[in-house]
A and B are shown apart, each in its own frame.
Chain A
Amino acid sequence: MKQLLMTAMIGLILISCSDDENPSPRIDAPDTYTFERNGSSTVAFNGQTNRIMMAEELVDAMLDFSITKERLLEMYRNETASGDDASPFDDAGLNAASQNIKSKVAASTDYFAANTSESSQIKADFEFWISAQVEEVFPNQNTVASPGTPGQLADGSSIRYVNARGLVLNQVVAKSLLGALMADQMLNNYLSADVLDAGNKRQDNDNELLEDGENYTTMEHYWDEGYGYLYGTSLDKKNPNSTIGQDDSFLNDYTGTVNNDNDFTGIADEIFNAFKLGRAAIIARSYDVRDEQAKIIRDRVSKVIAIRAVAYLQQAKVALPDDRNNTTAYGTAFQLLSEGYGFVYSLRFTRMPDSDQPYFTKAEVDSMLSSLLEDGPNGLWDVKNSTLDSISESIAARFDFTVAQAGS
């Protein structure tokens, strides 16, 4: 009862604050992500669903030891090396789809439209990791990994395959795509006012000018495409939080993981509610409200990435063997460190809500990644606890959480 009173009081305070400071018109967001015009839905994000599924197949295929490098690269590009149509996926729908992963990696308007040199470096990082998996790790499938030698290691009941420096490359690719593809497209492209309003898009939205043959305005559709990078494979795409964390191996997965941590409970609702309200604001032509919601999403999604980066580095500290000479006992730590490596890589695609910049620049991210691999000659085999702590501290310092909160 006391708690209820407290909640009510806090609610009152919040309401009174927003009434005082924000005289913008009241916008009612629907209970679910359901928006209709003339009795049919205006929501579509098939392209995002396809790219998430392509990324799932690519990451899984990196552990299919019979697959060729060419085929994996075709999965990344959805075309052959010479640019012809390719059918690399098991899912025929994906082969037929016009989308591909590569063209949307490091491809947001805000960060990369005028920064194609960095964009092409980032795109090439993925091709490098994919190639290294086939050229360095696959030949050592039946070798026990040791410092400087790629191969397999036990991690509980699982087997991990690492390169010479201890990186689980399929995990590096998965967790880096989460930033370079999903977060970048969402935070720095589709939720960007410059993209949403480009050309006549605001005027077209004001006038409800629909795209040719579609039931949505371009602005509505862009917002939905941002939504699709988080909920594109959700069981119930209109009400996705009932299965948050279970619907993909990328942003959905880790938004769920962070939401399950008592220190961050509610973050999944905050993100979903902001998407809903922002979309309702577009219909109500309340662009300030829309942009406020974009800020909330940028803040929370960036935080998810940062929390997981710290969490993995901290868990890896616990998982590193007491006896650092016991080379058979590194499997769990390497899996965690490789996931952490990908999340650190993804920090470059985060977005500070009141800025046009990420929380960490490419140079800062590169320096953290190098320090992970440069405590000794053999990369992660030599990583020191102090290095993991110092990277964790520098990440948490730019956010409103502590290393302890993220690490638990």
Chain B
Amino acid sequence: MLAGKQGHEDVVVRGARIVDPTGDVDAVLDVRIDGGVVAAIGEKIDGNEHRVVDAEGLVLAPAFVDPHVHLRTPGREDEEDIRSGTAAAAAGGYCAILAMPNTDPVLDSAAVVGSLVERARDEAEVPLAFLAAITKGQAGEELTEMVELAEAGAAGFTDDGQPVRAASLMRRALQYGIAAGRPIAVHCEEPTLSRGGHMHEGAVSAELGFGGYPAVAESVMVARDLALAQYEDRPVHVLHLSARESVEELRAAQADGSTATGEVTPHHLCLTDEAVRSLDANVKMNPPLRAEADRKALVAALRDGTLAAVATDHAPHARHEKEVPFEAAPFGVTGLETAFAALYTRLVKPGLLGLSTLLERMSAGPARIYGLERPRIAVGAPANLVLLDLEATWTPAEAGFRSKSANSWLLGERLQGRVKLTMAAGRTAYEG
């Protein structure tokens, strides 16, 4: 399913602390890569005249997988395209990303998906797969031709950006999805409850006067989709959870034997609706930032595995679209290039989340949800590695992004933890 540039590089990474949560490895060792494949792990490995990367004091981990990226291609290549989006991913330590289908046109036909997969082979700096829409045009009326889409390379199905309004159609998608053999991911939002909402409904929206987007607008839809999936005995992946009640629904379903999975974004893990007091359009996203109790519930759920994946929901927007009053601004923020640093700074450093847990939720967790091979540091595995400097501090600035867009909520924030090198599919995709 993944398509992108491949490599067969010969590299030795010397002296890094290897942290691979999936293999329970945490030791200072050398790693030799022959022809893009991990060939040896050990102490003082023979360099074999390979290129040597001196990684003393750095952490070497399985590279990240982002299950939720808006590449804006086709249709809004001024905001992002395959090349820029995957370059941004490489800079963020990712070796694979999944692109969402809410483009213009929507990814709802095998022809469009097939042509994007072709382009990705030549243009993608890191391997890339596309999700296709559940309904034609994401209009919520007719199912897409899921089997043909899967054959054309679709990695899964979602109407992300909006919910599948009709419960009956959601049920059909779950049933028919069996034939396509790909996961279904749901954007949970009850539109009649979120209508007119610009931020979380609560004390801050009451004071500022914004139309509220209540937590229950998400959680009722999470409950519905989990119930349908359980009834049909099908897995379902719940996108970008934001509310405590939604997490509780997912936890209860999992305890009841559901195979449902969930993801959470860095901004929902780090910020609350208090940030909206700035009226900065770069803290406007869907679902919105919620209250402190919600944020704490998300962190706890990521820690205990109820939420299996960190997803950036990288949503690039043109500068002029965000340089408007908050209410007029579109939803969405970028995140590929800052996700690890944001979460390392805000969660790992203060002791709220272990480093190996974070690494697992950014790599093996999301890979598992979509049935992708999980990145590993193991002999025989393709080189999908990220080298991290946990001491380096930096400040994201508009000019420094590889993404075409700079609508980041972290502009000017001091972060700790930086990606030094990303190898994706045996090829050095980023070196900083």
The answer to whether A binds B is no
